[in-house]
Structure formats: structure tokens, C-alpha cells
Amino acid sequence: MPESPSSEAAIQAALAGGTAPTASENIFTGFAGQLVNSQALVPLDQMPGWNDLMTSRHMDQTIQGWKFSDNHTYVLPIYTNAILVSWRLDILKR
């Protein structure tokens, strides 16, 4: 999927053109919320194997913060942005 001018723009164009992707990465969760409101997404937590995936990745607690207001999960965090990680240099230097 093209990421220019943005992933979100590519998804909007695909939805308008009737060629929406089955999966996407690198989208803002606020945009995912707009897609949920327009019924363009299906809940991941209702797909077969969801609970097994959360258990095998040890994400049972983490995924709780990714639920939308309808108590469903539409976005799966598959990686962490390095900007969100802080390092305790005092401990690492020991």
C-alpha cells in the first residue's frame, strides 16, 4: 500500500474506490476510530484465534488500553515506537 501522501490517505482512496485493503499498518489510532465509526473495520477480538494470540504474545494486559469505546479491539500494536521507550542509563551502566 502506498504511504504517500500518507497511509491514511491511501486507505481513504481505496475505500472510495471500492478496493479497501484487508489489513494495514502504520495508521494513527484516531483515524482507526473514524474507520470504526464509518463501519469500515471489523473487531479483531472477534476473529478466531484472537485469545490464543494475546496469550502467546503475553499481551492480555497491554491490549486492554487499545480497546475502543465499544469495548472491541480494532488496532493491534505490533511494534513499539522507540520514542516511547525511555532508558534507565544509570542501571544499564552497572
pLDDT tens figures, 9-40: 888 888 889 888 777 777 788 888 999 999 99
Q: What span, in angstroms and rounded, lies between the C-alpha atoms of 20 and 89?
A: 45
What is the CATH architecture of 7-92?
3-Layer(aba) Sandwich (3.40)
Mean pLDDT of all residues belonging to the chain: 84
pTM: 0.71
14: enclosing H helix or E strand:
helix 7-17
Percent of the chain with pLDDT over 90: 34
Q: What span, in angstroms and rounded, lies between the C-alpha atoms of 10 and 21?
A: 10
Q: What pLDDT sits at residue 84? A: 58
